Amino acid sequence: MTGPFFEPVGTCCVMKVDLLRAITSSVGSKFKILAQALATLLLFYPFMLHAETDCLSCHSDKTLQDAAGQSAGLDIDKFHASIHGSVSCTDCHTSIKEYPHAEQRTTVKCDTCHADQASAIGGSVHAKANAHPCTSCHGDTHSIFPRSDARSAVYPLNIPRTCGTCHASETLAKKYGLQNVYATYMDSIHGYAVSKEGLLVAANCMSCHGSHNILSHKDGKSTTSRGNIPETCGTCHAGVKDEYSAGVHGKMVASGNTKAPVCSDCHTAHAILQPTEATFRMQTTPICGSCHKDQLATYRDTFHSQLGLLGGYVETARCWDCHGAHGILPASDPASPVNKANLIKTCGRCHADANASFVQYQPHANPHNRKMNPALYYTRLFMNILLWGTLSFFTLHTLLWFIRAKKEQRKSRLAAEEKHD
């Protein structure tokens, strides 16, 4: 397509530069710069428009295609509304120098302007992604909107869907050894807040993982590395973070112990549930028990655990109901809910009539430990002897009786038959 309707760009330009010089030379040096700027604007503004008009003479045809069948048309209204609406075509399509131009594919380099973001991506997990580093998230280049605009692909409420384009894919997850987390996130308390409530402040993918500089959680610098998780979650959950930092686990993490539990160990990373939900209450005790093995084993022997395991009744005491959840303190600490002085209050949260004698109950008593729990040890021993003694004796007694009675029965039947014969 050719368009011989406008004079060649070059001629016009030279004329205007000459005119500019003439104007500015007549003004005093004091106002020279100001005059120059003003004149440039006045003279070249129509030219800028002119240039775009040149491009649009062909490219405003939305059905325009190149030889390879790729669309080369542009929705100019949408483009003008977009964040790049004031940028001229050749600013990005730098390889296009003349008008009209030969049919060619141009490579657009976003990093000309967005150098910081480009270098961040270069160091991120997405550096080697096959998809275009910018457009695969920000969408069509000619209709990119600011993050605060609901039309933007990176608008908080749109982010899960945008990331989900790749990360909801089973094949992609398999290929990169990732968990397919999209569905679990969408079902989580955060996903619900975003997708159902439309909460802009609710955590979306970006809130935890960052955007351009996303690193693997194995990387110590990543916002989702174990050591950084409390900080990352604390961005929103500041109160909980303070509590956590003051507790034993928070202190361990701060001192570089990565084995200590961080937020995601109990709450999980993506499938985060409302902590009062039955499923959450059912799943968390074994997580504490993965380190506190003895405590879990002794807890399992108690009524609290027996009820808890059966489900349908989730109010029974789990670890954190007594020990606290975030700011767990050693029992020796007067502020700990399991400190002796606080037991009546702590137990009283469920057992309304808890008294000093009642709280002597040991929620982690071990009937197998004679030194720690002698009374319980001997109670259990006595009960076991009674149980197995009685059963052994009577099993033998009844078995012998049964055999003997069977014999008697056969004998008398034979005798009866003989008599009959």
Partner 1 sequence: MIDERVVPPKRPQEIPLETHGKQKFFVRFTLAQRYLHVALFTSFLGLAATGLPIRFSDNAWARLFAKAVGGFGAILFFHKFCAIILTLSFLYHLKDLATRVFVHKEKGIFWGPNSMVANWKDVQDLVGHLRWFVGLGPKPKFDRFAYWEKFDYWAVFWGMIVIGFSGYAMWFAPFFARFLPGWALNAVLVVHGEEALLAILFIFSIHFVNTHLRPESFPMDMVIFTGKETEEEFKKKRTLEYGRLVAQGKLETRVGEQPAYWWVNFAKVIGFTAILIGLTLLVLTLIGYFGSS
Footprint on this chain of partner 1 (rule: CB under 8 A): 300, 302-303, 305-313, 316, 351-355, 357-362, 365, 367, 373, 375-376, 379-380, 383-384, 386-387, 390-391, 394-395, 397-398, 400-406, 408-409, 412-413, 416, 419-420
| CA atoms within a 13 Å half-sphere pointing along the CA-CB vector of 370 | 2
Give the C-alpha separation, 312 to 278, whole Å.
8
Nearest to 142 by CA among 110, 167, 112, 104: 110
Q: Which is nearer to partner 1, 174 or 340 (CB)?
A: 340
The three-state secondary structure class of 71 is strand
Q: Which is nearer to partner 1, 170 or 418 (CB)?
A: 418
- Contact partners, residue 16, CB within 8 Å, separation at least 6: 43, 44, 47
Q: Which is nearer to partner 1, 196 or 404 (CB)?
A: 404
Cβ 378 to partner 1 shortest distance, Å: 9
What are the CA-CA distances from residue 77 to residues 81, 149, 370 (Å)? 6, 16, 83
Cβ 279 to partner 1 shortest distance, Å: 13
Nearest to 145 by CA among 133, 155, 135: 155
Burial-class residue 169 by CB neighbours within 10 Å (0-12, 13-18, 19+): middle
- Contact partners, residue 61, CB within 8 Å, separation at least 6: 73
Q: Which is nearer to partner 1, 259 or 419 (CB)?
A: 419
Q: Which is nearer to partner 1, 156 or 367 (CB)?
A: 367
Backbone angles phi and psi of 300, in degrees to 5 = -60, -25
- Contact partners, residue 47, CB within 8 Å, separation at least 6: 9, 12, 13, 16
Cβ 236 to partner 1 shortest distance, Å: 34
Please answer whether residues 292 and 310 qualify as being in contact, where contact means their C-beta atoms are separated by less than 8 angstroms: no
Q: Which is nearer to partner 1, 113 or 400 (CB)?
A: 400
What are the CA-CA distances from residue 94 to residues 90, 106, 108, 184 (Å)? 5, 8, 8, 43
Q: Which is nearer to partner 1, 171 or 360 (CB)?
A: 360
Cβ 334 to partner 1 shortest distance, Å: 21
Give the C-alpha separation, 166 to 163, whole Å.
6
Q: Which is nearer to partner 1, 17 or 400 (CB)?
A: 400
Cβ 336 to partner 1 shortest distance, Å: 19
| Angle value at C-alpha 273, between 272 and 274, nearest 5 degrees | 135
Q: Which is nearer to partner 1, 140 or 277 (CB)?
A: 277
Backbone angles phi and psi of 413, in degrees to 5 = -70, -45
Give the C-alpha separation, 408 to 1, whole Å.
115
Cβ 379 to partner 1 shortest distance, Å: 4
What are the CA-CA distances from residue 107 to residues 94, 98, 133, 387, 403 (Å)? 8, 16, 13, 84, 95
Q: Which is nearer to partner 1, 26 or 360 (CB)?
A: 360
Q: Which is nearer to partner 1, 130 or 276 (CB)?
A: 276
Nearest to 53 by CA among 91, 101, 107, 99: 99
Cβ 275 to partner 1 shortest distance, Å: 19
Cβ 316 to partner 1 shortest distance, Å: 8
Cβ 355 to partner 1 shortest distance, Å: 6
Cβ 315 to partner 1 shortest distance, Å: 9
The three-state secondary structure class of 65 is strand
Cβ 317 to partner 1 shortest distance, Å: 13
